[in-house]
Chains A and B, each alone.
Chain A
């Protein structure tokens, strides 16, 4: 079996006096969409922020395609090929959509073919290209946030709750874009609360509880087993 794109081995992260991650073991297979699931406050966002280097791991090891990135600074991790879409979207509100995208193209001018591909996934961004990003609707801001990560080819995408609070039409647009991203060969670690979206997109799944991964396996297996969902996440996902 080939080396996973991302591997976390016994990762601990403390924030102030709180022990948030307590030995996370996680793998993101190459070219697959891996869902990171669990109730609120179990450490999903902290896991993503630890991988990108916003929080420093106090123990354990994180490898990207075999390379140890545990102690690397955030910019170096990003330049190693990790795209990050935070839960709060992290858009630069006072910059235009164009400026947000130009800034995201770290290696140089935007590739026009790639930009056309992004526009095909998120047409509103073309419409509002010269508008201040702060004037976009919530869904459009989320599109921009993902588009910014997509504008250059990355090895791994860390995406935190991209469908949170969005209308069904925009959720469908997001799902299509993420499928295209996967078809482009990317590996994706996706935190998602919408179980229907998770079932539709995920190849594998890891469920967290109390700062640890308590279950890993095929998303299809988790999607089929209502008892397992009930046991791991405390509510019947089939009811959603």
Chain B
């Protein structure tokens, strides 16, 4: 063979547009907040709505984050994800009711401890439920999207009926823990304490997920598996085990989201997970399948937009999120931060 010269690459500086493009979705949240500030006449109203929107967005993110990984890593369309939200809410609220003296005490520490116990209980229950759901319902239909939709939808219906059998058909009204009731006043705006807690919990979950996905080997395997599962297996990793772990973690996060969402709305029903699925699917789709960061940004956009529009034009609130999805998909058809290739 003819000896060729060595390949000597040089670092070329990418254009500004190329460097900025990946960060554009991140800018949408502050842009939307600024637009909201321009449209809402009162600063205090804007602040209240913004915190409310961020809290709502964080809770949607918690519920949706597991689903986006399941979508991306396992190529599974799980319409039953809402079942984990409902079951998590019922288990968590049951635990909170059992811890009545702690939730009724005017002590933030005791209230948060009770909330933590309820969240752990809900996550354990939904994590185990996720394991059973993956084995019994999802595993037989890997690779068959239509069957996945049918059987996971069936799983959701069964779970809802089991909730009705165990807890009864009536909706359950719940009071938030004593110290989390009411609001604090900041810059003339009333900020609900519980919403501030929800923002903190959502942020903590997002940072923890990023830490695991970016700094650990298991996170590396998950990120690689979302892109090319076949190659991850060819490197020697048992992706099926990772699938199960991710499914359980995603279910547990949905359970956590269920507890938070239930306390946010102060009422829980067997259908609450099913109802939340519309928002969950919207953020998973606009975020980009398999992208935790995209899901996070999408959830914040949905939360903020819904709150701003509900204040400015209540009738338009119902369609605002669909409009957001249409606009984002026209801009980026694979979602804001696409990870999974079209299949």
Are A and B genuine complex partners? yes
- Judge if A35 is at the interface, Cβ distance under 8 Å: no
Question: Residue A75 contacts which of B2, B224, B239, B339 (CB distance < 8 angstroms)?
Answer: B239
In the complex, which residues 90-108 of chain A have their Cβ closer than 8 Å to any Cβ of chain B? 90-95, 99, 102-104, 106
Closest to A80 in B: B236
- Judge if A38 is at the interface, Cβ distance under 8 Å: no
Count: A-B pairs, CB below 8 Å: 87
Provide the residues of chain A in CB contact with B23, threshold 8 Å: none
- Judge if B228 is at the interface, Cβ distance under 8 Å: yes
Q: Please determine whether A86 and B220 come into contact, CB atoms closer than 8 angstroms.
A: no
Stretch at the interface among A1-9, A11-19, A170-178: A170-178
Instruction: Please classify how large the interface on chain B is, using the bins under 10, 10 to 19, 20 to 34, 35 or more.
Output: 20 to 34
Q: Please determine whether A172 and B227 come into contact, CB atoms closer than 8 angstroms.
A: no
Provide the residues of chain A in CB contact with B237, threshold 8 Å: 75, 106
Provide the residues of chain A in CB contact with B42, threshold 8 Å: none
CB distance from A81 to the nearest CB of B (A): 10
Q: Please determine whether B4 and A172 come into contact, CB atoms closer than 8 angstroms.
A: yes
Q: Please determine whether B1 and A196 come into contact, CB atoms closer than 8 angstroms.
A: yes
CA distance A84 to B9 in the complex (A): 26
CA distance A103 to B222 in the complex (A): 11
Q: Please determine whether B235 and A103 come into contact, CB atoms closer than 8 angstroms.
A: yes
- Judge if A114 is at the interface, Cβ distance under 8 Å: no
CB distance from B295 to the nearest CB of A (A): 15
Interface of A is mostly: helix
Q: Please determine whether B4 and A92 come into contact, CB atoms closer than 8 angstroms.
A: no
In the complex, which residues 48-97 of chain A have their Cβ closer than 8 Å to any Cβ of chain B? 52-54, 73-75, 78-79, 84, 86, 90-95
Instruction: Please classify how large the interface on chain A is, using the bins under 10, 10 to 19, 20 to 34, 35 or more.
Output: 35 or more
Task: Answer whether A106 and B234 are a contact pair too, CB < 8 Å, given A99-B220, A170-B7, A173-B6.
Answer: no
Provide the residues of chain B in CB contact with A52, threshold 8 Å: 234
CA distance A226 to B136 in the complex (A): 59
- Judge if B30 is at the interface, Cβ distance under 8 Å: no
Provide the residues of chain B in CB contact with A117, threshold 8 Å: none
Q: Please determine whether B2 and A148 come into contact, CB atoms closer than 8 angstroms.
A: no
Q: Please determine whether B1 and A54 come into contact, CB atoms closer than 8 angstroms.
A: no
- Judge if A112 is at the interface, Cβ distance under 8 Å: no
In the complex, which residues 106-154 of chain A have their Cβ closer than 8 Å to any Cβ of chain B? 106, 123-124, 127-128, 137, 139-140, 148
CB distance from A50 to the nearest CB of B (A): 13
- Judge if B210 is at the interface, Cβ distance under 8 Å: no
Interface string of B1-35 (1 = CB under 8 A from A): 11111111101000000000000000000000000
- Judge if B231 is at the interface, Cβ distance under 8 Å: yes
CB distance from B209 to the nearest CB of A (A): 16
Q: Please determine whether B220 and A106 come into contact, CB atoms closer than 8 angstroms.
A: no
Q: Please determine whether A84 and B234 come into contact, CB atoms closer than 8 angstroms.
A: yes
Task: Answer whether A95 and B223 are a contact pair too, CB < 8 Å, given A54-B234, A79-B236, A168-B2.
Answer: yes
CA distance A104 to B158 in the complex (A): 42
Closest to B214 in A: A99
Provide the residues of chain A in CB contact with B60, threshold 8 Å: none
Q: Please determine whether A197 and B239 come into contact, CB atoms closer than 8 angstroms.
A: no
Q: Please determine whether B1 and A103 come into contact, CB atoms closer than 8 angstroms.
A: no
In the complex, which residues 210-250 of chain B have their Cβ closer than 8 Å to any Cβ of chain A? 217, 220-221, 223-224, 227-228, 230-239
Q: Please determine whether A92 and B224 come into contact, CB atoms closer than 8 angstroms.
A: yes
Q: Please determine whether B223 and A86 come into contact, CB atoms closer than 8 angstroms.
A: no
Question: Residue A93 contacts which of B227, B234, B236 (CB distance < 8 angstroms)?
Answer: B227
Cross-chain pairs A/B with CB under 8 angstroms, 22 sampled = A73-B238, A74-B234, A75-B238, A75-B239, A78-B235, A92-B223, A92-B224, A95-B220, A99-B223, A103-B217, A103-B220, A103-B224, A106-B235, A106-B236, A124-B7, A124-B9, A127-B9, A148-B235, A169-B5, A172-B2, A172-B4, A175-B1
Q: Which 7 A-B pairs have the closest CB atoms?
A: A90-B231, A78-B236, A172-B4, A106-B236, A74-B233, A169-B4, A84-B234
Given contacts A54-B234, A148-B235, 10 further A-B contacts (CB under 8 A): A53-B233, A75-B237, A92-B223, A92-B228, A99-B224, A103-B221, A103-B224, A103-B235, A169-B4, A169-B6
A: residues with CB less than 8 A from B are 52-54, 73-75, 78-79, 84, 86, 90-95, 99, 102-104, 106, 123-124, 127-128, 137, 139-140, 148, 167-173, 175, 196-197, 200
